[in-house]
Amino acid sequence: MSTLLNGKNGHTTHHRMEMFMNGPTAPRVDQSFAEDVFTFRVMQQRLPKDVYRALLRTVEHGDAMTPATADVIAAAMKEWAMEHGATHYTHWFQPLTGLTAEKHDAFLTPDPDGTAISEFSGSALVRGEPDASSFPSGGIRATFEARGYTAWDCTSPVFLNRNGGTVTLCIPTAFVSWTGEALDKKTPLLRSMQALSEQAIRILKVFGADTGVTAVTATLGCEQEYFLIDREYYFRREDLVTCDRTLFGAKPPKGQQMEDHYFGSIPSRVIAFMSEVERELTRLGVPVKTRHNEVAPCQFELAPLFETANIASDHQMLVMEAMKRVAPRHGLQCILHEKPFKGINGSGKHVNWSMSTNTGANLLDPRDETHTNMQFLTFLVAVIRAVDVHADILRASVASAANDHRLGANEAPPAIMSVFLGDMLTDIIEQLESGNPRKTLKGGKLDLGARTLPQIPRHSGDRNRTSPFAFTGNKFEFRAVGSSAAVAWPGTVLNTIVADSLDYVATLLERAVGGTTDTKKIEIAVRKVLQGIIKQHKRVLFDGDGYTAEWQATAKKRGLPNHRESVSALCTMTAKKNIAMFKKFKVLSKVELESREHIFIEKYIKQVLIEAETASSMARTQILPAALRHQTELAEVVAATEAAGLDADAARAHLEGHLGAVKALRGTLERLDAAVAKHPEEIHKHATQVRDEVRPAMAALRAAVDELETRLPRDLWPIPSYREMLLIR
Ligand code: ADP
Ligand code: MG
């Protein structure tokens, strides 16, 4: 493993190419396994030397590509794709729906003379023009100017999508409006990576080290949690089919209290599913690595090796799609919702994040040479500051109706954005704050005496699972991201807030250090700057149990924001400071940011209303009729008992209890329908009304339905129960 991860200098050209598949410094995996990817290796084999070099210049330095070069690449791509059975090609992009989009065109075009010619030009590769009118734009575009363009992102590899017996060449693209505004998730991610790179290089310059660094890349490794349930049950539940989660369901006698599922042996049907997913993903170049059972029954996890943020983000979309696609072949349904079942753990996506130089150094790896440790601490402190200053936008980046069931709902992790460092780093930060970290910490953990700067162990022993943002060895792990989320947006926000913080730190350092190359002077200047920042932002550091009420109170005292639900979180997106930041680093204009806030709030409303209407429909057409049937049965019992001249008191009491439950069902159903019927015009008002009226009404209806589930005979209960669904093997 260590040799795989070690990407130090001295790459041959060949190695450099391989790494571009995964980003400059991500694990150097041999991409020859990626049969369905037009890898750099394949390109090198198939393209004329000069064309291949021109492509590398575009990928590495962003040089413009000439139409002639694009034509040659397109021709080679088409040839390769058709040899692999592809009949169509598509620009593949990530509109703001949170899904991916594709529109296929055939390679073969019929000729008037009755034959067909195969066509795929450089311009078709580089630019597409899908009808953009039906994608969310958040007001950027009126439908009459619906033009949108897709533009080839040549840093993310082209691949073949095999589905339904067909093969399609997929070209990762950015999606922008005709006026140039980003209509997708990829464009701002790429811009944020650029911003991060520029600011990180300024810091490196201060330290004078790594002078060969020309680029710093954000790296992402995303752990995907998911549920699998038997497909037969899935189809019998309108809520699962429509909303990807259960809206009703009484607590089963056995949930996760036995803690027997986590890392348990994987059921054979599930492992068959997992390995098929892995095979498909491997062909697509996704470096899948880890699989295991998760905490809740029927919950599992898949984790690939980390890659350059942009590629990891594309690959993450492929991971979700592959899981959804493969599960039915095993009679399973893959559920990516953040909280499919009440009462047991929900699913998240841990987004591991770091920064790497093009020379192969992980900037968050504490175990470098002594002189670079101060550099490490600078990056570390900059990230801490970023989370404190921009807790609002970071929280907003993971806000969704679905994620509300996790964050702030007494489940991992809380909605308060805090940073976990672990014992070692906390200690060093404390020492740094109060002066010169020189003293020797006994116990053999740290020796600060011999050197002016601390040597820090790579892995601090503990791993706090309750922290939303934890330092885990040589990267940060952002755990608040929802399982169904596209990681591009949280990734964009992370990159941008850290770029902003690095800019701040770099400015202070450049001023303090001046032109000096005297390491001693640099060190003293850096220490002073870091001390000031630590003093100001240490309130965001928290290593304790994030689930406790005390933390909520402490965080409040410290003045940390705590947006427990999405509407208030999303409304912070367009705060003045956020608009200014995204603008300054050219990640999003004011219009682009506002449009995103609009789209996310709109999505929140739609998602909750779809759930509300589904709940109402199920209650009215499935639950109530079943309850009424049972009511008749109970009434018949009373009548028959009386007719037999027996004491019917118990039977009558039973019936009355049931009538009470039915009445509660009717009442809560009416309340929900009334709440759904209101439509405040203004979008923020509507979202607030949905949050304050519709959601509580749904909860009340659910309580009534779940109560009935415990009362009705099993043969009358119209939908599969938790007990059934959560026991598949
Ligand atoms: P755990 O479940 O204990 O959190 P895993 O090993 O399942 O850990 O996942 C850790 C993830 O972090 C993997 O996807 C791994 O590739 C990723 N990762 C490791 N180093 C980095 C890094 N420098 N940048 C981004 N992600 C990283
Ligand atoms: Mg993790």
Q: Which of 121-125, 133-137, 716-720 has the lowest mean pLDDT?
A: 133-137
Mean pLDDT of the region 94-113: 86
Q: Strand, coil or helix: what is 491?
A: helix
**226 CB under 6 A from ligand 1?**
no
Classify burial at 248, counting beta carbons within 10 Å of its beta carbon; exposed 0-12, middle 13-18, buried 19 or more: buried
**350 CB under 6 A from ligand 1?**
yes
Q: Which atom of ligand 1 is nearest to the CA of 350?
A: 4
Residue 21 has pLDDT above 60, yes or no: no
Half-sphere exposure of 36 (CA within 13 A, CB side): 21
What is the band of 371 on the pLDDT scale with cuts at 50, 70, 90?
very low
State the angle between helix axes of 186-207 and 309-326 in degrees (0 to 180), rounded to the nearest 10: 140
Calculate how far, in angstroms, residue 490's C-alpha sits from the geometric centre of ligand 2.
16
- Tens digit of pLDDT for each residue in 439-463? 434 333 444 333 344 455 544 445 6
Instruction: State the amino acid at position 355 in one-letter form.
Output: M
Cβ-contact 474, 483 below 8 angstroms? no
Mean pLDDT of the region 666-672: 98
Q: Which atom of ligand 1 is nearest to the CA of 305?
A: 16
**224 CB under 6 A from ligand 1?**
no
Residue 74 token pair:
């397109």
Minimum CA distance residue for ligand 1 atom 7: 303
**303 CB under 6 A from ligand 1?**
yes
Minimum CA distance residue for ligand 1 atom 8: 223
- Tell me, what DSSP letter sits at residue 344? S
Query: How many residues in total does the chain contain?
Result: 729
Across the chain, mean pLDDT equals: 87
Cβ-contact 462, 456 below 8 angstroms? no
**220 CB under 6 A from ligand 1?**
yes
Residue 117 has pLDDT above 70, yes or no: yes
Cβ-contact 290, 201 below 8 angstroms? no
How far is 375 from 117, CA to CA, in rounded Å? 58
Mean pLDDT of the region 146-157: 86
First to last CA, the chain: 33
Residue 301 has pLDDT above 50, yes or no: yes
Calculate how far, in angstroms, residue 479's C-alpha sits from the geometric centre of ligand 1.
12
Kindly give, in sequence order, each residue whose CB lies less than 8 Å from that of residue 515, ignoring residues fewer than 6 positions away.
Answer: none
For residues 101-111, one letter each, b for 16 or more C-beta atoms within 10 angstroms of the residue's C-beta and e for the rest, the string is bbeebebeeee
Q: pTM of the prediction?
A: 0.91
Provide the pLDDT for residue 722: 93
- Tens digit of pLDDT for each residue in 703-713? 999 999 999 99
Tokens 């509507």, residue?
686
Tokens 């699962």, residue?
240
Provide the pLDDT for residue 208: 78
Which ligand is nearest the CA of 217, by number? 1
Residue 294 has pLDDT above 50, yes or no: yes
Residue 369 has pLDDT above 60, yes or no: no
- Tens digit of pLDDT for each residue in 402-438? 999 998 776 668 899 999 998 878 888 888 888 776 5
- Phi, psi for 116 (deg, rounded to 5): -130, 140
Mean pLDDT of the region 282-305: 87
The DSSP bridge pattern shows strands 307-308 and 216-230 to be antiparallel
Degrees (nearest 5) of the Cα angle 22, 31, 164? 100
- Tens digit of pLDDT for each residue in 87-101? 999 999 998 888 898
**306 CB under 6 A from ligand 1?**
yes
Mean pLDDT of the region 635-642: 97
Mean pLDDT of the region 598-619: 97
Residue 44 token pair:
């090198």
Which among 25, 193, 216, 223 is the best mutation to test ligand 1's pocket, defined by most ligand atoms within 8 Å of the CB? 223
Cβ-contact 525, 506 below 8 angstroms? no
Beta bridge partners, 174, equal 151
Residue 107 token pair:
């390679």
Distances, alpha carbon 300 to alpha carbons 352, 504, 672, in Å = 18, 41, 34
Which among 5, 319, 352, 477 is the best mutation to test ligand 1's pocket, defined by most ligand atoms within 8 Å of the CB? 352
Q: Which atom of ligand 1 is nearest to the CA of 472?
A: 4
Which ligand is nearest the CA of 7, by number? 1
Out of 290-294, 430-434, 463-467, 634-638, the most confident range is: 634-638
Question: Which of residues 451 and 575 earns the better pLDDT score?
Answer: 575
Which among 294, 306, 467, 479 is the best mutation to test ligand 1's pocket, defined by most ligand atoms within 8 Å of the CB? 306
Q: Strand, coil or helix: what is 80?
A: helix
Mean pLDDT of the region 312-324: 96
Kindly give, in sequence order, each residue whose CB lies less than 8 Å from that of residue 474, ignoring residues fewer than 6 positions away.
Answer: 354, 362, 364, 365, 366, 367, 458
Residue 500 has pLDDT above 90, yes or no: yes
Provide the pLDDT for residue 516: 79
Helix (H), strand (E), coil (C) string for 529-594: HHHHHHHHHHHHECCCCCCCHHHHHHHHHHCCCECCCHHHHHCCCCCHHHHHHHHHCCCCCHHHHH
DSSP H stretches of helix in 85-185: 122-126
**315 CB under 6 A from ligand 1?**
no
**349 CB under 6 A from ligand 1?**
no
Number of helices (H), then strands (E), belonging to the chain: the values are 25, 17
Q: Strand, coil or helix: what is 290?
A: strand
Calculate how far, in angstroms, residue 478's C-alpha sits from the geometric centre of ligand 2.
9
What is the band of 262 on the pLDDT scale with cuts at 50, 70, 90?
low
Percent above pLDDT 70 for the chain: 87
Q: Which atom of ligand 1 is nearest to the CA of 5?
A: 20
What is the band of 149 on the pLDDT scale with cuts at 50, 70, 90?
confident
- Phi, psi for 8 (deg, rounded to 5): -70, 180
Q: Which of 270-279, 452-461, 474-483, 659-668 has the lowest mean pLDDT?
A: 452-461
Percent above pLDDT 90 for the chain: 64
R_g of the chain computed on alpha carbons: 28
Cβ-contact 160, 169 below 8 angstroms? yes
Mean pLDDT of the region 376-380: 93
User: In this structure, how many other beta carbons lie within 10 angstroms of the beta carbon of residue 519?
Assistant: 13
- Tens digit of pLDDT for each residue in 33-55? 789 999 988 999 999 999 999 99
Question: Which residue, among 574, 542, 217, has the nearest Cα to 388 in the 3D structure?
Answer: 542
How far is 216 from 197, CA to CA, in rounded Å? 4
Question: Which residue, among 729, 728, 726, 727, has the nearest Cα to 342 in the 3D structure?
Answer: 726
Question: Which residue, among 169, 59, 158, has the nearest Cα to 104 in the 3D structure?
Answer: 169
**4 CB under 6 A from ligand 1?**
no
What is the band of 209 on the pLDDT scale with cuts at 50, 70, 90?
low
Mean pLDDT of the region 318-343: 96
Provide the pLDDT for residue 60: 82
Minimum CA distance residue for ligand 1 atom 11: 221
User: How many Å is the maximal CA-CA distance in the chain?
Assistant: 105
Q: How far is CA 398 from the centre of its chain?
A: 8
Provide the pLDDT for residue 501: 98
The DSSP bridge pattern shows strands 216-230 and 332-335 to be antiparallel
